[in-house]
Amino acid sequence: MNNAAPAPVRTRGRPRGNPPTRESIVSTARSLFLERGYRRTTLRAVAGAAGVDPAMIAYHFGSKRGLFADVMQFQCAHALTVDDVLGGDLATLPGRLIDAVTSLWEDADFRQLTAQGDEAAEVIREYLERELLARLVEFLGGRDASARATAVVTILGGAIYTRYLNPLPTPAALTPAETRHILTPALRAALAPRPRTAATTRLVRSSQTSSSTATGP
């Protein structure tokens, strides 16, 4: 007679008890994406390394693309903490923005993640649009907030592109401190209130339309 206790059943769907957190899964996935790259990393491999059922990953992230997006978003949020950046004096905001961007992109692991194809590019676009741009509009307030925030994100996006994604020799050779010195006046001008023009009027109307569409009735 076999008196051995039956093996525990691994249930699918939302786990009970005290399962590993999303953060621990994201941390494990980040290590594998860095080691193997996006295409060679499977959800089964992440689940095995994290000690969880693959269904847990599917529940929390939906797909490998969703998991990779969370890895990138976590990395962005860790270095470019919007609440911290926006939590100080408006006069010194340009320097804080540049410091946050350069500290994120000077990290070798993050640059390795950003090199992993269209998935990485999509996450970066979404973060700049939905997190940084949207929060800047809210922070600045007023009728020209969308125009000012758009100018800021355009400058920062240009810096990211010319220093890291498709580096030009001159911008790429600058130190972070030199980048801050050069771009601070441009960001300060971008953040300054400006007179209403036809372009800013269209931008404000477009932003209001997008906001009402997103919130719905």
136-152 pLDDT tens trace:
998 898 889 999 999 99
Looking at residue 16, what DSSP letter applies?
P
C-beta neighbour count of 161 within 10 angstroms: 13
Indicate yes or no: pTM above 0.85: no
Euclidean distance between CA atoms 165 and 70, whole angstroms: 20
C-beta of residue 70 within 8 angstroms of C-beta of residue 61: yes
The pLDDT confidence band at residue 37, using thresholds 50, 70 and 90, is confident
72-101 pLDDT tens trace:
877 676 655 666 788 878 889 999 999 988
Euclidean distance between CA atoms 57 and 26, whole angstroms: 10
Euclidean distance between CA atoms 187 and 159, whole angstroms: 11
Looking at residue 174, what DSSP letter applies?
S
- Burial of 84 from C-beta contacts in 10 A (0-12 / 13-18 / 19+): exposed
**Long-range CB pairs of 6-9, under 8 A, 24+ apart, other chains included:** none
